[in-house]
Structure 1
Amino acid sequence: MAVYKEQSLKIYNSMTGEKEIFTPLTEGNVGMYVCGPTVYSNVHLGNCRTFISFDLVFRYLKHLGYKVRYVRNITDAGHLENDAETGEDRIAKKARLEQIEPMEVVQRYTVDFHNILEKFNNLPPSIEPTATGHIVEQIETIKTIIDKGFAYAVNGSVYFDVLKFNKDHNYGRLSGRAIEDMIANTRELAAQSDKKNPQDFALWKKAEPQHIMRWPSPWSDGFPGWHLECTVMSTKYLGEEFDIHGGGMDLKFPHHECEIAQGEAATGKNPVNYWMHANMLTLNGKKMAKSTGNNILPTEIFTGQNDVLSKAYNPSVARFFMLQAHYRSILDFSDEALAASERGFNRLMDAYRHLEDLPTSSTTSFDLQKWKQRCYDAMNDDFNSPILIATLFEAVKFINAVKEGDEKLKSADRELLQEIMRAFIFDVLGLVDTATVNEDSSQKLSGTVELLIKLRAEARNNKDFATSDQIRDQLLELGIQLKDGKEGTTFSID
């Protein structure tokens, strides 16, 4: 029996502002779309928090037994600087500055994005479509929206008619903005002269002569609007209506608001049942920004090469730190907070490792079933990872008490406790026991060096002293010193 049939999951829906019981459109199946990165620079920590939050959602849905199709896009075109309607494409600008092809920029930072999320132990999505790979579909969607009367072409560009759409729909309902207020607060800009109304947004932009990234369309050689990409890719792979759409809080307006308008205009259907938004990450109490220097990259956390932290921190510790806050709350990143998380992380992993060696008795002084359900209750309450972690630490306290002889644990219950903790620590929270990984790495290193010692001995026996010396010298350059003695060759690592 699927676990989801025994549990009642509630999700905070940004559209309604309430926690709602999660009921997928198709029983046993979940379609989830999350806005991915614009790959023009190294992925920043705030984005990582968003993707870790939705990795938690993905993992828990899978744990409950749902078949999940998780789609997360790569924006590799059409995203202009400062999320504006005019200006330079972020990727094209980077390509111009570095004097390389735009797709070289895309490749470099897509690889970086994948590498960083892999270090954080994020599961890959089911599908990872790119904007440039769906130009044809975007053009067809624009045609449909024009045919439905909700868009107009002017001077080679196509704009969505927000005021016309709003007559029978509610543009602004996700972000809680009234169209009247938007009109009152909008300043007319010279660059908006092609639009009927300042609120209208681009579905297709005619490329200026200097614009590198361009494609042919019925209206002009140009590029798609940033908002359109997500509408097209989400509905292509999840259908005109799907279960969950996620992203950072900063995308609620205008990006997600525009997605809803485009989807409803094209299909006449409300595209998403549950909207989820992850909150921002601050650094030492201030907003992260490259311009002010109040910024840190994930790799700088892992290596310790930064001016913010006193030491390097393992990716799993950084992940644990982020999961100690609810995904909808603002989280402040600091050296003190990370150090505290590292101590907690080590206590959790140490307790789990000691489960194997715990003494057992004929009784158990801990209500395992009740505790297990409280772990589920935490996650069922809008994926409340901090409450789950607090509940796991109740088990840590119990394990330490058993070790000291103050509590009792039956052998069968020890196996059950181990199974529950394994599921929630590793499968749901996605943590990695760094001590075990380091031990495995150490064993692999030892095995590799022993193999090289054997090859060196064979070379010496064959009087191939050049190869023998080369193995010794190159290992020394790597900080591994070989010592020849009567009992054979040993090694030490500096």
Structure 2
Amino acid sequence: MNTGLHLYNTLSRKKELFEPLNAPNVGMYVCGPTVYSDVHLGNCRTFISFDLIFRYLKYSGYKVRYVRNITDAGHLEGDRDEGDDKFAKRAKLEQLEPMEIVQKYTLGFHDVLRMFNTLPPSIEPTATGHITEQIEMIKEIIANGYAYVVNGTVYFDVEKYSAAHNYTILTNRNLEDMLANTRELGGQDDKHGRLDFALWIEAKPETIMRWPSPWGVGFPGWHIECSAMSAKYLGDEFDIHGGGMDLAATHHTNEIAQSEACNHKQPAKYWMHTNMLTVNGTRMSKSAGNGFLPGELFTGDHPLLDRGYSPMTVKFFMLQAHYRSTLDFSNEALDASEKGFRRLMNAVSLLEKLTPSTDSDFEIEPLALACVKAMNDDFNSPVVIAELFEASRIINTVFDGKGKISAPELDKLKKLMNNFVFDIFGLKDEETSNVELNAVLDMVIDLRKTAKENKDYATSDKIRLGLQSMGIQLKDSKEGTTWSKA
């Protein structure tokens, strides 16, 4: 079990030694998508980042229960517990039942993450499947004096909570400044305080998604679902809570308040947040017109994209930036990542073709230790990638006959690449996974070999140049002929 792992804790605002509450068991909760529309790239970056963390914790010897929720109720359009339910609004637009919307976009979300080759979570609970748990938690918060009921809606009393607890502990914001920047309550507003938020919302007559409760027919607020489901599956206290940095100021702040008001405990020991995405230096957003969906990135069907990029290229691009760093999309950056990813995959494909020697010019153990050291430093994937490129240089040097590697060192090299490229990063070779393409190219390479043996160099060159014009590069060596995308 890895006892040298350090991670950045948003709560303490510094790197801390990872010490699970009940090692080797680890509980990790990550806020999942709100499934009323297609998943966006910001979501994808968050889930790819926590997939990396999930994989590395398992690789390090921990038994991880990874819970990632699906928000399928209670998410309103407005920021003051007002407006239409997003699922009901989308259902009206598409003329479907709300749960058809949920099913449609949940399946789409899963399809996208499969393309990125992420592992499924241990548990994926839904808000609608845990209404009872949310109601029970709200009842406990009311009993503890931190919530009040007005006309069938239950509000969390932030002012009363703040008198005994640090409401802004996660963000370190000034409460007075927050109040000053929050709109005054209107004459028809039922809240006691400007920062109060809804735990349960009274249903309007036209509300489709509604459930009975002790306070009347209604539906849960957005924040309560994560507090209720994380407690159900991970306990009142667990190890890691994660999500995008945009969730810290409101959603995660309110989660902490709800959990402490109910259970008298800080829910998570470590809080982790992924950073935002930008496009050519400008924050990615629909309103700015520079946001694109994963499918548009794969096909290139977007005004800001010169062409499409494969899912593994995009994933490799994301892994080349630390999860807490801003990630800037541009055609030039994606092109560079595509070249780097192909270089890495080409090197991996050569591993089985290397012939070991009795002695070795290379030692692999320092490389492996450097990769572990980088991952132990708050999952520093960019540094690991630099080490993997050094491993690729060794592979190419040996394949070209310019260096020797012994059987024990070759075994270490294979283990290093398999562990980090496939098991931890979750990458896969999109070219070698195409069985039909491989079979055709193997046949063409064999035909070229026969032509060369018969001194038919015109045919040999025609095959090589023809493949090159189609983006396939052949490489001859004493080990044989290999191919890669040019």
Task: Please report the TM-score for the alignment, with normalisation by the length of structure 1.
Answer: 0.87
Q: Distance in 2 between matches of 1:390 and 1:222?
A: 53
Please, which of 172, 176, 179 is the counterpart of residue 172 of structure 2? Answer: 176
Does the 8 A contact of 1:322 with 1:331 survive in 2? yes
Match of 1:275 among 247, 271, 279: 271
Report the counterpart of residue 67 of structure 1 in structure 2.
63
Correspondence for 1:134 among 130, 133, 143: 130
Structure 1 residue 405 displacement after superposition: 3.2
Match of 2:261 among 257, 265, 272: 265
Choose from 220, 229, 235 the match for 1:239.
235
Query: CA–CA distance in 1 between the matches of 2:181 and 2:308?
Result: 46
Alignment of 1:208-357 (within 5 A): 208-357=204-353
CA distance in 1, matches of 2:274, 2:188: 31
Identity %: 60
Residues 216-247 of structure 1: per-residue CA shift (max 9 Å, x gap): 11112111110000000011000000000000
Deviation at 1:441, TM superposition (A): 7.1
Residue identity matched to 2:127: A
Give 1:98-137 correspondences, 5 Å limit.
Answer: 98-137=94-133
Per-residue deviation at 1:116?
0.3
Q: Which 10-residue stretch deviates more, 363-372 or 162-171?
A: 363-372
Other structure's SS at 1:190 match:
coil
**Superposition deviation, residue 191 in structure 1:** 7.5
Superposition CA RMSD, Å: 1.6
Q: Secondary structure at the match of 1:30?
A: strand
8 A Cα contact 1:75 1:131, kept in partner: yes
What is the CA distance between 1:407 and its match in structure 2?
A: 2.6
Name the structure 2 match of 1:465.
none
Partner Cα separation in structure 2 for residue 162 and residue 299 of structure 1: 41
Give the equivalent residue in structure 2 for 1:418: 414
**Structure 1 CA distance for aligned equivalents of residues 10 and 361 of structure 2:** 42
What is the deviation of 1:20?
0.3
Q: 1:395 aligns with which of 391, 396, 417?
A: 391
**Structure 1 position 135, deviation (Å):** 0.5
Cα deviation digits, residues 454-474 of structure 1 (max 9, x gap): xxxxxxxxxxxxxxxxxxxxx
Which residue identity does 1:336 align to in structure 2?
E
Local SS of the residue matching 2:42: helix
After the TM superposition, which of the residue ranges 417-426 and 434-443 deviates more from structure 2?
434-443
Q: Deviations over 1:434-463 (max 9, x none)?
A: 12111367669xxxxxxxxxxxxxxxxxxx
Instruction: Output one character per residue of 1:383-437: Cα deviation in whole Å (capped at 9) or x when no partner.
Output: 1110110111111112222223333210221121111111100000000111211
User: 8 Å contact 2:146–2:161 — kept in the other structure?
Assistant: yes
Are the counterparts in 1 of residues 276 and 327 from structure 2 also a CA contact under 8 Å?
yes
Determine if the alignment matches structure 1 residue 379 to structure 2 residue 375: yes
Does the Cα contact within 8 Å between 2:141 and 2:258 map onto a contact in 1? Answer: yes
Amino acid at match of 2:254: C
1:470 paired residue number: none
Cα distance between partner residues in 1 of 2:437 and 2:163: 63
Answer whether contact 1:192 1:198 (CA < 8 A) is retained.
no
Q: Deviations over 1:124-168 (max 9, x none)?
A: 000000000011111110000000011110111001111111111
Q: Is the 1:86–1:191 Cα contact (8 Å) retained in structure 2?
A: no
Alpha-carbon separation, structure 2, partners of 1:440 and 1:383 = 36
Question: For the Cα contact (< 8 Å) 1:284–1:332, is it kept in 2?
Answer: yes
How many angstroms does 1:304 deviate by?
A: 2.8
1:376: Cα distance to partner? Answer: 0.2
Unaligned 5+ segments in structure 2 are 441-486
Taking a change above 3 Å as real, the CA distance of residues 52 and 413 of structure 1, as seen in their structure-2 partners, is: same
Structure 2 CA distance for partners of 1:367 and 1:77, relative to 1, 3 Å = same
- After superposition, the C-alpha distances for 1:95-127 in whole angstroms (9 at most, x for unaligned) are 111221111110100000000000000100000
Cα separation, 2, equivalents of 1:324 and 1:439: 28
Kindly provide the CA deviation profile for residues 268-306 of structure 1, in whole angstroms up to 9, marking residues without a partner as x: 111100000000111222222223321211112222322
Q: Deviations over 1:458-492 (max 9, x none)?
A: xxxxxxxxxxxxxxxxxxxxxxxxxxxxxxxxxxx
Higher mean alpha-carbon deviation, 376-385 vs 293-302, is at: 293-302
Tell me, in whole angstroms, the C-alpha distance in 1 between the residues paired with 2:360 and 2:435: 32
- CA deviations 1:182-220 (Å, max 9, x no partner) are 222222142772111101111011112222211111112
Query: Residue type matched to 1:267 in 2?
Result: N
Q: 1:401 to 1:83 in 2, by over 3 A?
A: farther
Structure 1 residues 1-150: aligned runs within 5 Å = 2=1, 4=2, 7-150=3-146
Runs of 4+ off more than 4 Å: 440-444
User: What is the CA distance between 1:15 and its match in structure 2?
Assistant: 0.4
SS at match of 2:420: helix
Corresponding position of 1:480: none
Structure 1 29/163 Cα, relative in aligned 2: closer, same or farther at 3 Å? same
- Give how far 1:180 is off: 2.0
